[in-house]
Structure 1
Amino acid sequence: MEPTVVVVGMLRFPPGRVKQVLPHLKTLVDETCRNDGCIAYEVAEDPFDPGVIRFSELWPDHVSLERHLKAPHIDPWRSAAKACGLIERRFTAYAIGGTKLV
């Protein structure tokens, strides 16, 4: 399945709270990969910016992404992130319109 939507984003937490976030993040990633129809859903701590968690996502279409954003595991994740001190949230979705380069 070829992706038509790519999402890149980041969340910023107080650096000392990232360990508290990780179990909730694991649940989010597991549920998303198991149930939401993503092609890829990658998450990593930024080694150069403490407290930042970066996301990269590939979705087959915009409908799948919208369904993911309304999935039952999203609200509990957002509540947990807020409880862990979420400072900043930035995500951007892009339509893939060109030919795969690599």
Structure 2
Amino acid sequence: MLHVIAKSIAKKDKIEETKNALEALIEPTRKENGCIQYDLLQDHSNPALFFFTEIWESNAHLDAHLATDHFINWKGKSDDLLDSPMEVSLLKKV
């Protein structure tokens, strides 16, 4: 299994728009083959800070996710919404 943490920092004037765009990823992603967990979290003290915590059956399933229309649509919006590029960590359980 592959664990993923994806960090996004919204522009201060785009927090709600970013949240809505990220939330739009949840339902279709959870239906994808190989998706075990896909949760969106927002920081209490810094509402511009979002994290996805994800678990995928394999790297191949994550790669397939990155090629979906809904993810590509998000990437097209992300430059306008985010303060900096999304930071992604690929992890394994120890």
1:23 to 2:20 alignment: yes
* 2:52 corresponding residue in structure 1: 55
User: Structure 1-normalised TM-score?
Assistant: 0.80
Q: For structure 1, which runs of at least 5 residues remain unmatched after alignment?
A: none
1:6 to 2:14 alignment: no
Asked if the contact 2:41/2:50 (under 8 Å) is kept, the reply is yes
Percentage of identical aligned residues: 20
Q: For structure 2, which runs of at least 5 residues remain unmatched after alignment?
A: none
* 2:61 corresponding residue in structure 1: 64
* 2:92 corresponding residue in structure 1: 95
Question: In the comparison of the two structures, how many residue pairs are matched?
Answer: 93
Shift of 1:15: 3.0
Q: How big is the alpha-carbon RMSD for the aligned residues of Structure 1 and Structure 2?
A: 1.5
Distance 1:18 1:6 in 2: 26
